Structure 1
Amino acid sequence: MPPTSRPLRKLGFLTIGLFDEADPRRGHESTLEIIELGERLGFDSAWLRHRHLQYGISSPVAVLAAASQRTRRIELGTAVIPLGWENPLRLAEDLATVDLLSGGRVNPGVSVGPPMHYDQVKEALYPDTAEAEDFSYERVRRLLDFVRGKSATDFSGVEGFEVFSDRVQPQSPGLGSRLWYGGGSLGSARWAGEHGMNFLTSSVVKAERPEETTDFAEIQLSHIRAFRAAHPDGEAARVSQGLVVIPTDSASPAQRAKYEEYAAKRTPRTTSPQGPARLMFAPDIVGASDEIAERLHAHAAFREIDEVAFALPFTFEHEDYVQILTDMATKLGPALGWRPTG
């Protein structure tokens, strides 16, 4: 087995936090229990996806606030918050508040672009400004500035009995260095690097030029290298990879069959670019931890990162996630050279 060029330093996982419309509290509790389990198993980080008008977590910052009071060590991230749904100033306040409550463990991941199904939701979301909203990188820059302490207003001082700040309050030391951009293109990778962010790369990338490779790992590798080339920290700039990885070491026969069926249904989309955006999807990796480790060691992009946030499949049951996370921490992580933190 060829060695990785970077030993795996941080092991994390990502969940969508699905729930039943008839009992949404149970689904949210399940997510919190999974995060607590992750901490007990020694994972370095737990990340939440973001879903609006669906049966998944719509308010990850609120869920992370709850998780911050039920854990003490594990880092808590979002992968990712789509900023098209957010006011950057208000989001900066929420993120700083939860970061302080967590003791400095929040890792906000964000992305830009119009909200999904914008034509159908714009009247509810931005009834007076739908056509004027800016969904470019400028929205990220505003969030960065507010989190990093730049002025939000030209007014400060005392007015009557109230004291006003020209900066977003609270300010949480270090949060500005823990902001991540979730990107799938060369342009987003470079932008994140130029602005001193960390970079989240997932199981989806864009094959932007038809004449170039459609090999997922090679495309992802080009994004990682472009990000680090643009970042002030160069090769030390943080990148986290988020492939869908399902170890089966302790799975029951029924679970193995379910996992393999899940991956098989998703495999056709991985063979060629999908849609006008030419999206390339990485195959889900299912199998024993030693087999998965061998495949990852051969993955061109994995060989250049030392952090992962393996994505949990969307539609499994709570006990499936317990099994998968336990195998990740006790079998797969060590096979990749990782050691749990206490």
Structure 2
Amino acid sequence: MPSPARPLRKLGFLTIGLFDPADPGRGHESTLEIIELGERLGFDSAWVRHRHLQYGISSPVAVLAAASQRTRRIGLGTAVIPLGWENPLRLAEDLATVDILSGGRLNPGVSVGPPTHYEQVGKALYPDTADAEDFGYERVRRLLDFVRGASASGFSGVEGFEAFSDVVQPQSPGLGRRMWYGGGSLGSARWAGEHGMNFLTSSVVKAGDGDGPLDFAEIQLSHVREFRAHHPDGEAARVSQGLVVIPTDSASPAQRARYEEYAAKRLPRTAAPQGPARLLFAPDLVGTSAEIAERLHAHAAFREVDEVAFALPFSFEHEDYVQILTDMATVLGPALGWRPAS
């Protein structure tokens, strides 16, 4: 078994937080309970996905505000907020507020690009400017500036009985260093590095236009190296990898069969780039912790990161997530050299 170049320092997990539209409260409560469990198991971070006009978490900042009051130590992240749906100034206020409430534990991850199904939703989202909105990196730059204390107004001072600030309030020290960009291309990796962000790389990358053989791990490795080559912190710049990982050490036979069926249905999409964007997907990792650790140690990109936020599979039951997280923290994590937080 090859040894990783970097020992695993931080173990996190990512959940999509699904719910039944007839009873959305139960799904949200399940997500909060999973985050609480993660803290008890010693995970370093818990991340939530963002889903608009779907039966998932549409407001991760609000969910993490609730989680901040039910936990004390675990880092709380978004992976990722699609900025095409957001006003950067207002989002900066929300992020800073939750960071203050959490005691400085928020890790906001963001991405750019037009909202999904923009042709159908654009007029509802931007009724007067749908055709003029810019969904590029400028949106991230504005958010970073506001979070880091850049002026947001030409006025500050006292007016009557009210005091006004020209920068976002509250200001949360350190939040600017905990901003993450979720990217799957060389260009996004480079941009994130140049702007001093942290980098989230997941189970999806862009294959590019080359005609040669495609190796997911090697493509992802090139993104990690591109990011660090352009980041002020160089090799110390933070990268978190988010593959789908399903350990089965304590799973029942029925659970193992369900997990293997889930991964098998998703495997065909990993054989070739998908769609006009040529997205390349990594296979889901299902098996015992020893088997998964061996595959990760052989993964070129994993060997150059020391943080992970393993993605939980979609549409499983709450009890399944309890089993998967417990195995991650008690068996897989230690097999990767990780120690739970006290």
Q: TM-score range by the shorter chain?
A: over 0.9
Task: Report the CA distance between 1:154 and its aligned residue.
Answer: 1.4
Aligned residue for 1:221? 221
The one-letter amino acid of 2:116's match is M
Structure 2 residue aligned with 1:6: 6
The yes-or-no answer on 1:87 pairing with 2:87 is yes
Q: Report Cα offsets for 1:119-149 as digits up to 9, x if no partner.
A: 0001110001101111010000000000000
Call closer, same or farther: CA 1:213–1:150 in 2, change over 3 Å. farther
**TM-score calculated relative to the size of structure 1:** 0.99
TM-score between the two structures when normalised by the length of structure 2: 0.99
1:209 offset after TM fit, Å? 2.0
Q: Which residue of 1 aligns with 2:255?
A: 255
The 8 Å contact of residues 194 and 230 in structure 1, kept in 2 or not, is answered as yes
Residue ranges of structure 2 left out of the alignment (5+ in a row): none
State whether residues 207 and 213 of structure 1, in contact with CA within 8 Å, keep that contact through their aligned partners in structure 2. no
**Partner AA of 1:179 in structure 2:** M
Name the aligned partner's letter for residue 307 of structure 2: E
Q: Is the CA contact (8 Å cut-off) linking 1:18 and 1:55 kept in structure 2?
A: yes
Aligned partner letter, 2:54: Q
SS at structure 2 position matched to 1:20: coil
Letter in 2 for 1:191: W
- 2:51 is paired with a residue of what secondary structure? coil
1:214, distance to aligned residue in structure 2 (A): 1.3
Partner of 1:265: 265
1:210 and 1:224 map into 2 onto residues whose CA distance is 19
Q: Partner of 2:71 in structure 1? A: 71
**Per-residue deviation, residues 238-267 of structure 1 (Å, max 9, x unmatched):** 000000000000000000000000000000
Partner secondary structure for residue 257 of structure 1: helix
Structure 1, unaligned runs of 5 or more: none
- Structure 1 stretch displaced more, 31-40 or 151-160: 151-160
Paired positions, count: 342
Distance in 1, Cα, partners of 2:61 & 2:328: 25
Which residue of structure 1 aligns with residue 282 of structure 2?
A: 282
**How far apart, in 2, do the equivalents of 1:135 and 1:277 lie?**
16
Q: Between the two proteins, what is the percent identity of the paired residues?
A: 87
Residue matched to 1:20: 20
Whether the 8 Å contact between 1:213 and 1:219 is mirrored in structure 2 is: no
Question: Are 1:116 and 2:132 matched, yes or no?
Answer: no
Alignment of 1:1-342 (within 5 A): 1-342=1-342
Amino acid at match of 1:298: A
Query: Matched residue of 1:77: which SS?
Result: strand
Amino acid at match of 2:309: A
Q: Work out the CA distance in 2 between the residues paired with 1:315 and 1:218.
A: 30
Structure 1's consecutive aligned runs of 4 or more residues displaced over 6 angstroms after TM superposition are: none
Contact 1:247 1:288 in 2 (8 A): yes
Alignment-mate amino acid for residue 234 of structure 1: G
Cα RMSD over matched residues? Answer: 0.5
Please give the secondary structure, in 2, of the residue aligned with 1:316: coil
Q: Give the counterpart letter for 1:44 in structure 2.
A: D
